[in-house]
Structure 1
Amino acid sequence: MSQILKQKRQVAINPARLCAPIGAIMGAMGVHGAISIVHGSQGCATYPRHQMARHFREPIEVATTSLTERTTVYGGRENLLEAIKNVYTRCHPSMIVVMSTCLSETIGDDIPGIILDFEELNPDVEVPIISVKTPSYVGTHITGLDNFLTEIVTRLPEKGEANGRLNIIPGWVSPGDIREIKAMLRKMEVAPLFLTDYSDPLDGGVYLQKPPHPKGGTSVEELIDSANSTGVIALQRQVGGKAAETLGKRFEMPSEILPMPIGVENTDRFLQTVSEMTGKSVSEELEDERARLLDAIVDAHMFMTGLKVAVFGDPDNVSGLVRLCAEMGLEPRYALTSFDSEEWGIELLGVAEEMNMDLEILVKSDLHELHEKIKEDPVDILIGNSKGKFIAEKEGIPLVRTGFPIEDRFGYQRMAVVGYRGGINLVGEIVNSYLDNGTKGGKDVVSNTLLESLEAEDAGSR
């Protein structure tokens, strides 16, 4: 019987989360020409840059106010005023995003008030300057992105003429996922407007003449124009769901918050919603991709049926992966997130009951807790980011890497898991990870008569 469990231990051991400013920085990188300023110590900017660079393999440019012991006592107002001025003068940004940290929130710096002071002192500065609350003692990295998106749709959109586009809030996905969503919409002849589009800025190219800002991203003008779209769809409830509701209410446009389109059922629902909002039909090409995903799932059943799996990571990502695993014939045993959301747990519990799972849903938990669970009741496959490698190595089970961060493999930021084609990739990744896992996998399914006879002869001669 499925159940929701919340970790009682106050201390986190090997947490499956990162700090909030990372999320806001990621969202800001999806706005062309935007520059982030982290109002805190130098480490509060260095840590996010380090984590993101190791995953995306791209330079991450972030400014900092470099608060010190002195500014901790007397306040960081002057540092922030100088930082905004320097960024505007030297970088010529399209937008400046100031995010708070544990330090600046604790000492009580009024960031919105300081921004107003700057605008009064510098009336010639016309680019939008927004503030986002991202102290790391509230929520996780997805909280930072969610707060950023809510601030964007509250501050920037302005009503004008209809643009015929469809607002898409992808949430926390990979650049490869955004490109796959674009490809699906292109096949339906739907013009999307992404809030925001970090696919090219976080997976860019090498150019002989480096552009002043990374290519791609949603322009500030497009964000302003998002008020005039046909509707808005958020692909994650915990990251962008609040922004979709806000945008829908402010400008009386249809808004839908959908599960992340991983697997057959969730992708079907996404495309059906797009069709209803735009009047466009699902193309034959997408129908063919769906058929190939179904074929991949059927082919995988002979390897996957009855195997137990544990999934961890960001809540919306975990929900989508759990459903896909069930579609493949796997038995999801544990689903863990470090995010604190009873709503998410109840929603996933409904999926578990619908698909007849025996699933333990671990909310606001950590990987130490998951490891202890796996020791008591082992699983055959682990799905999550690189932080799960220690569990996989100790228990001798394969780790299917997905989510953020992936630091010990190359190129995963380009891989899509959403949509039918992303589902095909993911099914192959899960099956092959299991088959590669020594005696538990491929050794039992590969048949080679000559090899078997030679091994038998070798064994008999000993």
Structure 2
Amino acid sequence: MTPVSLPSQGSMFLGAYRIAASLNDCVVLVHGPSGCHFGPNFFEVLTNNLSSNATVSVMRERSVVYGGIENLEKAIRLTRKHYKNKRIIVLSSHVPAIIGDDLEFVDADIYFDCGGFQPMWQGIEAFLGRLGDFICENGHKEEAPTNLVNLIGFQRDVVGAEEDLEELKRVLSFSDVKVNVIPDSLECLRYARYASLNIVFGYGVKLARRMKREFGIPYIVTDHPYGVEGLKEFIEKLGENFEFEHDINKDVFGEIHEKLKRYRNNLPLFYDVPVCVVGDLPRISGMSKFLERELGMNVELAFATSSAMKEFDFNVPCTKFVESYSEFIEEIKGLDIKVLLGTDEERRIINNTIVFAFPSFTRMSYVPYLGKGTLNLIADIYERLMGWI
């Protein structure tokens, strides 16, 4: 029997769902069978089990024969009844795409066909690109703040993501820079075209290119700036494209440097410890650099649960990349990994896990890992290492 190679990444549909569910003034309506809705909605509810801005058209067998538009229209009417003042995003899953349901004339604010078999990162890119239509059609210059930058493609369903966003906003606020996050809400997209710079966190390259072409907004593509050096490089990149009113390094790093002195005597504990990182490519790129350059750890294996359009330069020579989950399991079993920074899926392989990526069922954390959150990240790794010793 030929062994099955498990795919390393989710589908295009899941990628689009991750972005759509982050728009807090919208309801995501999945057009498809209940199973297509269950998985993504399960992740969303785990993030916030008090509310869910998602529903489903619940296609049945008869819908496959006669079409599912009638079911969808009923679901839209019910959604508008129960979700007042919310806009509706319809994501069409694989079954409607196969039977040829035409969503062009349904009563939705945004509809998007996710019926392809492309990987998750392409779904993220494609849906962010779809938001570009909304940006081009809507704009309120008189209400847009000055010194505005757009943060594009930051995954908000990751543990501690909201806190990381707040930390990035705090860093930029030292130079009076205002931040517009994409995705955040459709309302915020009205100001996106008046930004001075687009900062793309791995995902949203197509959107940034379109905004440069149509509005002349420059963009930079970056991984997640973990650690002191990562944040310094992030600020330097911004400085090449955005004029700061003053040197913000003292404001940003003063407190961090002072507290890092307390960790100095414990740093040898981290040296040459074998590590594996798993997660979205822009995250594991920034994390690997931090672990190797600033803590002296050895990143021996990296596994991207979601790739990206941009090829990130890891600058980590010993790191091996794998193409499938099956290959990842075989590789990690042959390594003496002491700490694994990844997702809950890897807990069944190695228990000493720090969950920093999507999805997470067992970790509840409301502290940042970026900026001054570097102290939290080092403390978490130290705690796992002490448990190993």
TM-score under structure 1 normalisation?
0.74
Distance (Å, rounded) in 2 between the aligned partners of 1:286 and 1:182: 11
Tell me: CA distance 1:45–1:247, structure 2 relative to 1, closer, same or farther (3 Å): same
Asked whether 1:267 is paired with 2:228, we answer: no
Look up the match of 1:221.
187
Distance (Å, rounded) in 2 between the aligned partners of 1:296 and 1:93: 50
User: CA offsets, 1:105-163, max 9 Å, x none?
Assistant: 2222232x233xx4xxxxxxxxx7112233473212x4433322221123334456364
Look up the match of 2:328.
370
Corresponding residue to 1:417 among 338, 363, 369: 369
CA displacement at 1:75 relative to structure 2 = 1.7
Counterpart AA for 2:80: Y
Greater mean alpha carbon deviation, residues 148-157 or residues 382-391:
148-157
Q: Which residues in structure 2 correspond to 1:251-400 (within 5 Å)?
A: 251-275=215-239, 276-281=241-246, 282=248, 284-292=250-258, 295=261, 298-327=264-293, 328-339=295-306, 344=311, 347-348=312-313, 351-352=315-316, 357-363=317-323, 365-366=324-325, 368-393=326-351, 398-400=352-354
Look up the match of 2:74.
82
Please give the secondary structure, in 2, of the residue aligned with 1:302. Answer: helix
Asked whether 1:402 is paired with 2:389, we answer: no
Counterpart AA for 1:247: M
Counterpart AA for 2:329: H
Question: Contact 1:170–1:178 at 8 Å: present in 2 too?
Answer: no
Corresponding residue to 2:382 among 394, 414, 431: 431
Distance (Å, rounded) in 1 between the aligned partners of 2:301 and 2:285: 11
Please give the secondary structure, in 2, of the residue aligned with 1:382. Answer: strand
Please give the secondary structure, in 2, of the residue aligned with 1:259. Answer: coil
Distance (Å, rounded) in 2 between the aligned partners of 1:179 and 1:9: 45
Question: Contact 1:335–1:360 at 8 Å: present in 2 too?
Answer: yes
CA displacement at 1:294 relative to structure 2 = 5.6
Question: Contact 1:187–1:283 at 8 Å: present in 2 too?
Answer: no
Distance (Å, rounded) in 1 between the aligned partners of 2:219 and 2:308: 22
Greater mean alpha carbon deviation, residues 48-57 or residues 335-344:
335-344
Look up the match of 1:64.
56
Q: Which residues in structure 2 correspond to 1:68-217 (within 5 Å)?
A: 68-111=60-103, 113-115=104-106, 118=107, 129-135=109-115, 137-140=117-120, 142-157=121-136, 158=138, 161=141, 163-164=145-146, 165-173=148-156, 174-197=161-184
User: CA offsets, 1:155-194, max 9 Å, x none?
Assistant: 3344563641211114214222222222222233211111
Counterpart AA for 1:175: E
Distance (Å, rounded) in 1 between the aligned partners of 2:255 and 2:24: 32
Distance (Å, rounded) in 1 between the aligned partners of 2:183 and 2:16: 11
Please give the secondary structure, in 2, of the residue aligned with 1:156. Answer: helix
Q: Which ranges in structure 1 are unaligned for 5 or more consecutive residues? A: 1-7, 119-127, 198-217, 442-462
Distance (Å, rounded) in 1 between the aligned partners of 2:190 and 2:180: 11
User: CA offsets, 1:419-460, max 9 Å, x none?
Assistant: x212221111112111112xxx2xxxxxxxxxxxxxxxxxxx
Please give the secondary structure, in 1, of the residue aligned with 2:322. Answer: strand
CA displacement at 1:388 relative to structure 2 = 1.0
Q: How many residues align?
A: 377
Greater mean alpha carbon deviation, residues 425-434 or residues 265-274:
265-274
CA displacement at 1:309 relative to structure 2 = 0.8
Structure number with larger C-alpha Rg: 1
Aligned-residue identity in percent:
21
CA displacement at 1:9 relative to structure 2 = 6.8
Please give the secondary structure, in 1, of the residue aligned with 2:303. Answer: strand
Q: Which ranges in structure 2 are unaligned for 5 or more consecutive residues? A: none
Distance (Å, rounded) in 2 between the aligned partners of 1:339 and 1:273: 24
Counterpart AA for 2:150: N
Question: Contact 1:96–1:130 at 8 Å: present in 2 too?
Answer: yes
Corresponding residue to 1:11 among 5, 30, 38: 5
CA displacement at 1:27 relative to structure 2 = 2.6
Tell me: CA distance 1:29–1:183, structure 2 relative to 1, closer, same or farther (3 Å): farther
Question: Contact 2:256–2:375 at 8 Å: present in 1 too?
Answer: no
User: CA offsets, 1:194-252, max 9 Å, x none?
Assistant: 1123xxxxxxxxxxxxxxxxxxxx3x332122111222111x22x22322222222211
Greater mean alpha carbon deviation, residues 293-302 or residues 48-57:
293-302
Please give the secondary structure, in 1, of the residue aligned with 2:29. Answer: strand
Tell me: CA distance 1:73–1:295, structure 2 relative to 1, closer, same or farther (3 Å): farther
Tell me: CA distance 1:137–1:103, structure 2 relative to 1, closer, same or farther (3 Å): same
User: CA offsets, 1:361-392, max 9 Å, x none?
Assistant: 223x21x4223212323222211011111111
RMSD across aligned C-alpha pairs, in angstroms? 2.7
